[in-house]
Amino acid sequence: METLIFQLQGPLSSWGEPAVGEYRPTAEYPSQSAIQGLLAAALGIVREDADAQAALAASYRMAVGVISPGRLLRDYQTAQVPSRADLKKRPQATRRDELSLPKYDLNTILSTRDFRLDASAVVALQMLDGAAYPLARIAEALRRPKFLLYLGRKSCPLAAPLHPVLLDVSTVSEAMTAYLEQLSALSASHGIRAKAPSILRKIAWGDDFGVDDVATIGRQRDLSLLRKDRVLARKGWQFGDRREHIALLEEE
């Protein structure tokens, strides 16, 4: 089956999990909603275009291969915000507009935000019936994105090109293995020596894949969990539950 594979690498990444209060955690690898957001940004779909966002979410199934979860970085932050009463009936197109009040009318909020250091993953994308865009169009958008791409937060830029590749393979694990071999060969041809072998540590996928579609090197799924990363309303930041399956792969 035709499969689009691309990589996500960066010095910092943050894949939002359900947040309570001032604490903002991150998962070890990209969520479905984060990948869909990245695709929308590459295609130039704005958050307010609910129909286009919904069509994109219903067009593809995706799996994530984790090469390295990176290391956890916990950042303590403070920020100034006006009260809700001060925000009413005031246009605020920019952050500068939001803070255009006397300093004594601004409040300080505290938050703790988690990031992953030097994490690395690959994403496998396959079309569903009635997909909004062919995979070739997605690949071209990832090479020349309309909007700036980042790894979860704007403070998390890409460290390497996404390098999207279209492969015709039987299983997701086959596609990811072939892709990593291509990356290694490409690095060698440019005289680049990788710090460590590119070995998949785990593969995560949703119910829209069967175990035979993933074929994790003869392994069945090791665990299943609920993840709140199914987009309900992008503009309102509303997400629903989705069942995700994970295969933990043995390192060679």
Tell me what pLDDT residue 124 has.
96
In a domain, 107, yes or no: no
In a domain, 155, yes or no: yes
In a domain, 240, yes or no: yes
In a domain, 101, yes or no: no
Tell me what pLDDT residue 127 has.
94
In a domain, 166, yes or no: yes
Tell me what pLDDT residue 244 has.
93
What's the average pLDDT block by block, 10 residues per block, for the chain (252 residues)?
A: 94 88 89 94 93 92 94 89 76 78 81 93 94 95 96 92 93 90 79 62 89 64 86 81 87 49
pTM of the model: 0.85
Tell me what pLDDT residue 32 has.
93
In a domain, 44, yes or no: yes
Task: Indicate the SS3 state at residue 153.
Answer: coil
36-95 pLDDT, tens digit per residue, is: 999 999 999 998 898 999 999 999 999 999 999 999 999 998 888 887 777 776 777 787
In a domain, 89, yes or no: no
Tell me what pLDDT residue 120 has.
94
Rounded Cα distance, 213 and 1, in Å = 9
Tell me what pLDDT residue 196 has.
46
Alpha carbon dihedral 153, 16, 66, 168, in 10-degree steps, equals: -80
- Domain hosting residue 205, numbered range: 2-71+116-248
Tell me what pLDDT residue 194 has.
53
Cα 13 to the center of its chain, rounded Å: 9
Tell me what pLDDT residue 63 has.
95
Tell me what pLDDT residue 17 has.
86
Tell me what pLDDT residue 163 has.
95
Number of domains within the chain:
1
Asked if 225 contacts 243 with a C-beta cutoff of 8 angstroms, the reply is yes
Residues β-bridged to residue 245 = 205, 224
In a domain, 86, yes or no: no
CATH of the domain at 35: 3.30.70.2660
**Radius of gyration of the CA atoms of the chain, in A:** 20
